[in-house]
Amino acid sequence: MRTEPSNVPLVEMKGIIKRFPGVLALDQVDFSLLPGEVHMLLGENGAGKSTLIKILSGAYTKDKGEIFVRGESVAIHSPVDSLQLGLSFIYQELNLVPQLDIARNMFLGMEPRALGFVKIKELYDKAAFYLNKFHMDLDPYAIVGTLSVTQQKLVEIARALIKDAQVLVLDEPTDVLEDRSRQNLFSVINELKRSHSVGFIYISHRYAEVHELGDRVTILRDGENEGTYRVAEITLDQIIERMIGRKIENQYPQIGAPQAQEALRVEDIRQGNKLNGISLNLRKGEIVSVTGLMGAGKTELGRAICGIDPCDAGEVYIEGKRINFSTPKRTIEAGLAYLAEDRKALGLILVHSIRDNFGLPSSARLSKLGFIDHRAITSECDQFMKKLDIKAPSMETKANQLSGGNQQKAVVAKWLGTQSKVLVFDEPTRGIDIRGKAEVYSLMNELLEQGIGILMLTSDYQEAVEMGHRTIVLYHGRIAKEFQRGEATEEDILRTAIGAEK
Ligand SMILES: Nc1ncnc2c1ncn2[C@@H]1O[C@H](COP(=O)(O)OP(=O)(O)OP(=O)(O)O)[C@@H](O)[C@H]1O
Ligand SMILES: [Mg+2]
């Protein structure tokens, strides 16, 4: 069902201005949301998307502007205010309590109670009911801290959906989700908008979702509203052009042939029931994509190879030399670097500046006689910021003041600076906008030309087949199939990933 334009908007934001030190994040932005519509909010990294919705949620205060909810002017000073107005948010960053289980997290602050006590059985029954309803294959008793990023995201989505809100705001919810979970989420969204006239504000860098899911789209560029359109009236190319001011020609670089020598060899890695004997190799200048569904073992494989989690068995060789991969320090020394999927936990020290974060893994190389060469770090950091177009007032900007995508770019820059022999990238372009992706790919290509081997763990099948010399598909902790470049379509990968093709 399409939206009724005559309806009073659920949300109206008028003339919103927000300034951070050195940045005008929002400049007179108007935005509205109608009942029963999915309104896509698009823009490059740092365009102001998250800031706009954080102003609506009360996480940030605006400098100027007005907000109306169901036609009435409202003052939103904190997330409690927005919740009372029937607005529910899923932020870009994870916001769960890692020590608590899934059910507790889902119902945090709204537990079913009698006489002040939490009704335990009801709590877990309800959690199980909703997880089932949203087709989420999760155990209500599982401790959130032990879950993968993807599973945690699903918990956040479930938590937002059960709040019975009239407005749901989702900041890059599918960024970490694979196809099946995305489709589940989309059908829940469609059902809620049809039967309950819920309105959705939906932020995404997956542009295919615009026409799949959206009713209207608003494009932000450098803090300004570049226009609001019905999705039926605008093509993807037009959207991208408005977003970045030009067309994107080649998203993926022309990648040359790998060298003959081996960069990495992994033999029969085993870890509980997660990794069931995986062997693979990687040549110098070669990029191999590893993909598969959530839980297939991508991240586990990367972490195991890089010594972050212990294994039951297996061997790892760098350039033919067997390495002791019992700790991350040993693997870094051996020339292996790991770029984690969860930038908050492993990627960045958020209270440190971009420069200091960049300097961390590179400091050993950029030292002279035991002293860290600060000038070298500064100049390299500056180069990477320019190359990746990291949007920040300066390299002294703290990592937590960057937009989500720019944080991700900073993580990438940090590891690109280490000059390792083998790089293991876990979801390297997650949350990065279209231009940033092209930049990351071209940097990877430069690394390949220098003879570095790249193992790319990714849930983006297109990225996997376009970038990889080979694509390995995992299924239940085993290699289901390996494709050479050009041999498989995204479709083939998906079929293998779900176990439909052996
Ligand atoms: N807490 C903060 N302190 C200082 N600057 C901030 C803060 N939050 C955001 N900014 C700045 O405001 C601008 C807009 O950031 P915002 O997070 O809204 O971008 P975004 O559109 O959500 O980008 P992304 O796609 O990368 O998530 C950026 O320049 C960012 O660095
Ligand atoms: Mg954001």
Using the CB atoms, write b or e for 238-267: b if 16+ within 10 Å. ebbebbbeeeeeeeebebeebeeebbbbbe
Residue 189, in any domain of the structure: yes
Residue-level pLDDT at 332: 83
Residue 3, in any domain of the structure: no
Same domain assignment for residues 267 and 407: no
Same domain assignment for residues 169 and 306: no
Residue 205, in any domain of the structure: yes
Residue 129, in any domain of the structure: yes
Residue-level pLDDT at 4: 47
Residue 426, in any domain of the structure: yes
Task: Check: CB of residue 348 under 8 Å from CB of residue 361.
Answer: no
Ligand 2 center–CA 62 separation, angstroms: 16
Q: What is the mean pLDDT of each run of 10 residues along the chain (502 residues)?
A: 64 97 93 96 93 96 96 94 93 87 92 90 95 89 88 88 90 79 86 90 90 96 95 91 77 93 97 94 97 88 92 94 88 85 62 76 60 78 81 85 80 73 90 83 88 94 94 95 94 85 60
Pocket around ligand 1 at a 6 A CB cut-off: 20, 23, 25, 43, 45-51, 92, 391-392, 401-406, 433
Ligand 2 center–CA 50 separation, angstroms: 4
Pairing between β-strand 287-292 and β-strand 453-457 as defined by DSSP bridges:
parallel
- CA 125, 126, 127, 129 torsion-angle sign: positive
Burial class of residue 271, CB neighbours in 10 A (0-12, 13-18, 19+): buried
Q: Among the three residues 398, 418, 438, which one is the final residue of a domain in this structure?
A: 418
At 202, is the secondary structure helix, strand, or coil? Answer: strand
Strand segments, DSSP code E, in 304-410 are 313-318, 321-323, 336-339, 367-368, 371-372
Range of the structural domain that residue 409 is part of: 349-418
Same domain assignment for residues 405 and 440: no
Neighbour tally for 98: CB within 10 Å: 13
Same domain assignment for residues 439 and 315: yes
Ligand 2 center–CA 269 separation, angstroms: 37
Atom of ligand 1 nearest to the CA of 52: 18
Residue 6, in any domain of the structure: no
**At 166, phi and psi to the nearest 5?**
-90, -20
Same domain assignment for residues 81 and 147: yes
DSSP 235: -
Atom of ligand 1 nearest to the CA of 60: 1
Residue-level pLDDT at 371: 67
Considering every ligand atom, which ligand is closest to the CA of 55?
A: 1
Same domain assignment for residues 409 and 489: no
Pocket test for ligand 1, best of 351, 401, 407, 439 (most atoms within 8 A of CB): 401
Q: Whose CA is nearest to atom 10 of ligand 1?
A: 401
CATH assignment of the domain containing 31? 3.40.50.300
- For the chain, the domain total comes to 3
Residue-level pLDDT at 347: 61
Residue-level pLDDT at 1: 45
At 167, is the secondary structure helix, strand, or coil? Answer: strand
Atom of ligand 1 nearest to the CA of 408: 26
Same domain assignment for residues 265 and 409: no
Same domain assignment for residues 240 and 265: no
Pocket test for ligand 1, best of 13, 23, 434, 439 (most atoms within 8 A of CB): 23
Same domain assignment for residues 30 and 44: yes
Same domain assignment for residues 383 and 442: no
**At 210, phi and psi to the nearest 5?**
-55, -50
Same domain assignment for residues 412 and 433: no
Same domain assignment for residues 311 and 263: yes
Q: Among the three residues 388, 403, 418, which one is the final residue of a domain in this structure?
A: 418
Task: Check: CB of residue 169 under 8 Å from CB of residue 79.
Answer: no
Residue-level pLDDT at 354: 81
Q: Among the three residues 418, 441, 468, which one is the final residue of a domain in this structure?
A: 418
Residue-level pLDDT at 166: 92
